Copies of this chain bind each other. A is one copy, B any other.
Amino acid sequence: MVKIDLPVIAINFKTYPQATGEKAVLLAQACDKVAGDYGVSIVVAPQTSDLYRVSQAVDIPVFAQHMDAGEPGRFTGHTLGEALIETGCVGTLLNHSENRMQLADIEASIRKAEVLDLATIVCTNNPLVSVAASTMNPWAVAVEPPELIGTGISVSKAQPEIISGTVEKIRKVNKDVVILCGAGIGSGEDVKSASDLGAQGVLLASAVAKAPSPEDVLKDLIEPIRK
């Protein structure tokens, strides 16, 4: 599996028009530049259809937004791990709040990803679901209270106990899994408070993808963690 330094800032491009097609490449390049200039760890997650050209254009790790469970040969219209690998991406989100997966499929996808050497970030909605996800040994768990996603109200401020509770509960059953948090993250201050609560990184989307100047937002975000 690719080595990803911690703390990490993961940017989900969702399906934003500002982060689709050629614009996905430009946004990923902006992330790549900030990561390089300031020695911080940033990963990007563009849409499936953009994975190939984004992977070719940047040096930072590129993740898919989703991977379907299943073996090659059927599954027309699905995105299997074998296809992800061919794009040059090195990991995938699983179970995002906009793409919830069945429990058994999450586990199967983590296992498939291991075989293919892809890193997995399983998104979750609360501490108990995070613990369940962590027992299946993904690379990372990203807890995101759904009611805060896209609000601009940071989880690290509005519900700090979600982060600290998730960290505490996960560490009882899994010492190694990386713990991220998300929902409403938009500033360096949010990143710092998440870090203070025990998170090893953040997952965010709109604050960067929809920004008039993504680079400026990124520079603010990485302020507390830059070298």
Contacts and interface: CB of A to CB of B under 8 A. Distances in A.
A103 B129 CA distance: 7
A163 interface: no
A165 to B, nearest CB: 14
Number of chain copies forming the complex = 4
Interface string A169-208: 0001100000000000000000000000000000001000
Given A129-B136, A132-B136, A136-B128, A102 B104 contact: no
Indicate the size class of the contact surface on chain A.
35 or more
A203 to B, nearest CB: 11
Contact of A77 (B22, B52, B93, B135): B93
A79 B124 CA distance: 22
A157 B98 CA distance: 34
A72 interface: yes
A93 B66 contact: no
Contacts of A137: 128
Contact of A103 (B48, B52, B100): B100
A166 interface: no
Nearest to A53: B52
Contacts of A205: 76
A213 to B, nearest CB: 19
B132 A128 contact: no
A86 B129 contact: no
A164 interface: no
Contact of A132 (B21, B83, B135, B150): B135
Nearest to A46: B83
Question: 3 tightest CB-CB pairs across the interface, nearest first?
Answer: A21-B86, A66-B77, A77-B99
24 contacts: A15-B76, A16-B73, A17-B72, A20-B82, A20-B83, A48-B48, A48-B49, A48-B77, A50-B52, A66-B76, A76-B93, A76-B98, A76-B99, A77-B98, A78-B99, A100-B102, A103-B133, A128-B137, A129-B136, A132-B135, A132-B136, A135-B135, A135-B173, A172-B173
